[in-house]
Amino acid sequence: MIEVKNLYKEFKEVPVLKGISTTFEKGKTSMIIGQSGSGKTVFLKCLLGLHIPEKGIISFDGRKHTELDIKQQRQLRQEIGMVFQGGALYDSLTVEENVMFPLKMFTKKTYSEMLERVNFVLNRVHLDNSNKKFPAELSGGMQKRVAIARAIVMNPKYLFCDEPNSGLDPNTAIVIDNLIQEITKEYEMITVINSHDMNSVMEIGEKIIFLKDGVKAWEGTNKEIFKTENEAIVNFVYSSNLFMKVREAYLNETK
Amino acid sequence: MNYIEHVGKYFLMLKQVFKKPQKWSVFKEMFFREIEDLGLKSLGIIVFISFFVGAVIAIQMALNVDNPFIPKFIIGFATRRSVILEFAPTFMSVILAGKVGSYIASSIGTMRVTEQIDALEVMGINSLNYLVLPKIISTLLFYPLLILLAMFLGILGGYCAGLLTDLFYSEDFLYGIQFEFNPYYVKYAIIKTLVFAFVIVTIPAYHGYYVKGGSLEVGRASTQAVVWTSVVIILLNYFLTQMLLG
């Protein structure tokens, strides 16, 4: 379990996160949502250790991030997989080399063992026969799948995704969502997704954390989000007529 | 941010760069890749410029040394000295600062803005050590060879200019390039090259690594990197000349 307690982060004395506390559980897909500038990315980067919070505790299965020395932090980071918004694939490396990269850095496997693992994860994300292609030769959806393959190649305990659906068409977005959820269940990972895509939130958000102005304004599941009367989240989620109608239909159905 | 802060941040960056590589096999792979990208790919421009600038130095010398009391071997002598002392180590380093410096700043800067550096950090990799150290080691080993080649080609260019223009006799030129040869001058040029090679990698790496924003900022960082690298090379050239020859 990832436990966050009273997390504060500020930039140049401007507070961005104001005392966030929550937990992320094993085998569940948790989603962080909120308007632009609400602190979602900063929160995710604090979880990843890319930003050091001013106050608060982040604990990965009892290991407090701030209390680990550099060696222990590196060890912990090897248990983390991350899918960046733009994929963050290394341009000069092929798909195979990109996915093999963490194995090369952190394991003593032979080339054939590494290749076997790479082919396995590429097959898992439905990307066979793309090994020798460069990222620039792939579509946005394929790049995201390579990024997922690279994130899971080390069998991580924790998977973080920053807007995995941004820039994708609705069909590809659903494929990516389902893939992340399947992988989360299959490998019993703790998955945390930062997203704007309400479709994804409704589909795979087993736990949803809504941030507003750096504060956790609401927390619940994708079922509870339909029923909530919390003004902040209702204004955010149901700002579109389509979602408002979906909500009304859901509430009528469950009456 | 003021200049002192930049200098401090630059030295803190170097502290991270000079750490033991996390995996030697990966470091070796990166090292050979950098030899190709930063060294071998600069070979063409070095060959072309050295040869023609050496030729121009010899022609200029021949055209200006028209006093019958000045022996003609002075043309070869002066060409050799100009090429070995200044042209090859300093002029070539400024050219490499433009070519290689902009490449380093823009490639690392692009990695920064596309979150590739964050991806390295999240994996638990010391990104500065991984990206910059192989570049430093490869240039420190390869650039002295490039500069020695530039010296040879510069003098060869001068010799060929004599053959083609008949402005001086090749025998005079050959005598001139051997006249009072002091091997220390080559050592001096190599010392300068090593210092400049370090600057050519680390200043652009600093500008690229700490870039914030998008492609426009990467372009700006690349330009700034070239300007600052050239300025530092020229300043260091002054101090090194004073220290080593003064």
Taking the CA atoms of residue A138, residue A139, residue A142 and residue A143 in that order, the dihedral angle to the nearest 10 degrees is 70
CB A48 to CB B122 under 8 A?
yes
SS (H, E, C) chain A: CEEEEEEEEEECCEEEEEEEEEEECCCCEEEEEECCCCCHHHHHHHHHCCCCCCEEEEEECCEEHHHCCHHHHHHHHCCEEEECCCCCCCCCCCHHHHHHHHHHHHCCCCHHHHHHHHHHHHHHCCCCCCCCCCHHHCCHHHHHHHHHHHHHCCCCCEEEEECCCCCCCHHHHHHHHHHHHHHHHHCCCEEEEECCCHHHHHHHCCEEEEEECCEEEEEECCCHHHHCCCHHHHHHHCCCHHHHHHHHHHHHHCC
Residue indicated by tokens 């982040």: A58
Domain boundaries, given as residue ranges, for chain A: 2-225
Give every CB contact of residue A186 below 8 A, 6+ residues apart in sequence: none
Q: How far does B114 lie from chain A, in Å, by closest CA? A: 6
Provide, rounded to the nearest whole percent, the portion of chain A with pLDDT above 90. Answer: 39
Which of A49, A78, A86 is the closest to B114 by Cβ?
Answer: A86
Average pLDDT over residues A112-130: 90
Residue B134 Cα distances to A68, A90, B31, B35, B38, angstroms: 29, 17, 5, 9, 11
CB contact under 8 A, B122 and A76: no
Name the residue in chain A with its Cα closest to that of B24: A105
Q: Which residues of A76-110 are buried (b: 16+ CB within 10 A; e: fewer)?
A: bbbbbbbbbbbbbbbeeebbbbbbbbbbebbeeee
pLDDT tens per residue, range B107-147:
999 999 999 999 998 888 999 999 999 999 999 999 999 99
pLDDT tops 70 at residue B165: yes
Give exposure, A61-71, as e/b (b: 16+ Cβ within 10 Å): eeeebeebeee
Q: Mean pLDDT over residues A119-133, rounded?
A: 89
Confidence of residue A85 (pLDDT cuts 50, 70, 90): confident
A48/A192 Cα distance (integer angstroms): 11
- pLDDT score of B129: 95
- How far is Cα A213 from Cα B139, in angstroms, rounded to an integer? 48
> Minimal Cα distance from A102: which residue of B?
B123
Q: What is the pLDDT of residue B44?
A: 94
- In angstroms, the Cα distances linking B217 to B6, B13, B112, B146, B209 are 17, 20, 11, 31, 12
Q: What is the pLDDT of residue B167?
A: 85
Q: Calculate helix-pair angle for B24-34, B127-165, nearest 10 degrees.
A: 30
- The CATH code of the domain at A2-225 is 3.40.50.300
**Which chain A residues have a beta carbon less than 8 Å from that of B23?**
104-106
Mean pLDDT, rounded, of chain A = 88
Q: With beta carbons under 8 A apart, name residues in chain A contacting B111.
A: 90
pLDDT at B233 > cutoff 80: yes
Q: Closest CB to A88: pick one of B26, B118, B124.
A: B118
Window 127-156 of B, Cβ < 8 Å to A: none
Q: Which residue of A has its CA nearest to B21?
A: A105
Report chain A residues whose CB lies below 8 A from the CB of B125.
105
User: Which of A85, A89, A102 is the closest to B123 by Cβ?
Assistant: A102
Cβ neighbours around A180 below 10 Å, total: 24
Q: Which residues in B lie closer than 8 A to residue A74 (C-beta atoms)?
A: 124
Number of CB pairs, chain A paired with chain B, less than 8 A apart: 51
Instruction: Using the predicted structure, report yes or no on whether residue A251 has a pLDDT greater than 80.
Output: no
Measured CA to CA, the distance from residue B169 to residue A205 in angstroms comes to 85
The verdict on a CB contact (< 8 Å) between B123 and A105 is: yes
Decide if pLDDT at B1 tops 70.
no
Name the residue among B23, B115, B123 with its Cβ closest to that of A86: B115
Sheet holding A2-11, edge to edge: A14-24, A2-11, A55-60, A63-64
pLDDT at res. A253: 77
Contact B26 A80 (CB under 8 A): no
- Check: CB of residue B217 under 8 Å from CB of residue B109: yes
* pLDDT given at position B194: 97
For chain B, say whether A14 makes contact (Cβ under 8 Å): no
Q: A82 CB near a chain B CB, below 8 Å?
A: yes
Q: How confident is the model at residue A5 (pLDDT cuts 50, 70, 90)?
A: very high
Closest CA to B131 of B19, B39, B223: B19
Q: Chain B: residue nearest A162 by CA?
A: B115
Considering only CB atoms, which chain A residues are within 8 Å of B25? 104
Q: Is B1 on the interface with A (CB under 8 A)?
A: no
Average pLDDT over residues A188-209: 88
Angle between helices B184-209 and B92-113 (to 10 degrees): 20
Res B39: pLDDT: 92
Contacts of A221 (CB under 8 A, 6+ apart): A205, A206, A207, A208
B1 by DSSP, 3-state: which? coil
Count of alpha carbons within 13 angstroms of residue A49, beta-carbon side:
28
Question: Which of A75, A88, A105 lies nearest to residue B115, judging by beta carbons?
Answer: A88
How far is it, in rounded angstroms, from Cα B42 to Cα B48? 10
What's this model's pTM, rounded to 2 decimal places? 0.87
List, in order, residues 6 or more apart from A96 with CB less than 8 Å away.
A115, A118, A122, A131, A132
Packing angle of the helix pair A95-106, A111-124 (nearest 10 deg): 130
Q: What is the pLDDT of residue A226?
A: 79
Report the pLDDT value the prediction gives residue B225, as an integer from 0 to 100: 96
Please give, rounded to a whole number of angstroms, the shortest distance from the CA of A85 to a CA of chain B. 9
- Retrieve residue B148's tokens: 């020695």
User: What percent of chain B has a predicted confidence (pLDDT) above 70?
Assistant: 100
Q: What is residue A176's predicted lDDT score, i.e. its pLDDT?
A: 84
Q: Which residue of A has its CA nearest to B122?
A: A77
Distance CA B94, CA B226 (A): 9
Region class of A183: left (phi > 0), else alpha (psi between -120 and 50), else beta: alpha
Query: pLDDT band at residue B2, thresholds of 50, 70 and 90?
Result: confident
Domain map of chain B by residue range? 3-245
- What confidence category does residue B12 fall into, taking pLDDT thresholds of 50, 70 and 90? very high
What lies within 8 Å, CB to CB, of B94 at 6+ separation is B230, B233, B234
How close, in Å, is residue B224 to chain A by CA atoms? Answer: 24
Q: Three-class SS of residue B19?
A: coil
> Which band of pLDDT confidence, cut at 50, 70 and 90, is reported for residue B87?
very high
Average pLDDT over every residue of B44-72 = 91
Query: Which residues does B149 contact at the CB level (< 8 Å), separation at least 6?
Result: B43, B46, B47, B50
Across the interface, whether the CB atoms of A105 and B115 are under 8 A apart is answered: no
Question: Closest Cα partner for A26 from A206, A149, A200?
Answer: A206
Q: How far apart are CA A204 and CA A200, in angstroms?
A: 6
Q: What is the ipTM of this complex?
A: 0.84
Distance (Å, rounded) from C-alpha A64 to C-alpha A218?
Answer: 25
